[in-house]
Structure 1
């Protein structure tokens, strides 16, 4: 049976993450991916979890209170390279859009997402992945989706394989996944 979007995104991450790895939750939200990544990397791993909203980080801290391998960062994912300096990253996850049950006027934007993707890609191990769930059922989401697809479709094949996983017969602008896998020796 075909996996729904969020389980498929998690599987794409699980396939490359090992205990002790460094990973990034670029859009912490309510902390579900942060918790998942913390469990994948184990106590010896490290999760950098970014959000621009204190409410999101507070929600995530409550969900992940028993996890000791997470650094919560109240800042844009566009500044990821200011926080990760001496580590290579095995995987990163993005859930684009707005905070569920939060202020829907605060959304991710291609202005910060594209630089974050570039910076994380430069930190990424060979064979590492950036998994992006694109929610585009709102006006800002449509703009971000179009900018992402335009920019990523132009990436050189020799650097990365880029997958789009999407159900094409669903209504209401169903979310989809973009997965960027860094080629070995890229």
Structure 2
């Protein structure tokens, strides 16, 4: 059976993340990706997780503590556009994931925005290791969602093929705007 965009994003992350890696959850949400990443990086790795809503941080912290993985994660109550203020340029990032849209079961007027998402993408790509992956699961069936989806698609299409492989994964015969997955992988210099 074909995987949903979210499940396929996890498959793509599992393929490359190793214990000791530094990874980013750019949109913490309800903490599912943060928890998943914390398991993958092991005791010596680190997850940096961002969200602007306190509810997201509290829900995520509770999941991490209950799972005994809280020491592997740094939670930030701030937008993903501030990644450049948190991580020095010389900090290698193995992987990052975004779930664009709004926090499920919360205020649907608080959404990710094209300009802040673009800034976060720029900052992560500056730090992404060779064979590192940046995944974007774009939920776009809400006000403002199509604008952000358009920005992400244009951003991905403009990346130089000499430096990046970019995958677009989506179901095209489903109703209600199923999410679209984009995967950006940095090539090794010798490729």
Identify the TM-score tier after normalising by the shorter chain.
over 0.9
What is the rounded CA distance, in whole Å, between the counterparts of 1:42 and 1:141 in structure 2? 34
Partner of 1:160: 164
Partner of 2:117: 113
Alignment of 1:93-104 (within 5 A): 93-104=97-108
What is the rounded CA distance, in whole Å, between the counterparts of 2:102 and 2:119 in structure 1? 18
Give a deviation string over 1:51-78, Cα, whole Å, max 9, x none. Answer: 0111110110011112111000011111
What is the rounded CA distance, in whole Å, between the counterparts of 1:5 and 1:146 in structure 2? 17
How far residue 3 of structure 1 moved from its aligned partner, in angstroms, is 1.2
Structure 1, unmatched stretches of 5+, are none
How far residue 151 of structure 1 moved from its aligned partner, in angstroms, is 2.1
What is the rounded CA distance, in whole Å, between the counterparts of 2:149 and 2:31 in structure 1? 23
How far residue 115 of structure 1 moved from its aligned partner, in angstroms, is 1.1
Structure 2 residue 54 is matched with structure 1 residue 50? no
Partner of 1:35: 35
1:172 to 156, 173, 176: 176
1:89 to 81, 93, 101: 93
Partner of 2:23: 23
1:122 to 111, 115, 126: 126
How far residue 5 of structure 1 moved from its aligned partner, in angstroms, is 1.6
Over aligned residues, Cα RMSD in angstroms? 1.1
Aligned residues: 186
**Structure 1 consecutive aligned stretches of length 4 or more whose deviation exceeds 4 Å:** none
What is the rounded CA distance, in whole Å, between the counterparts of 1:41 and 1:32 in structure 2? 15
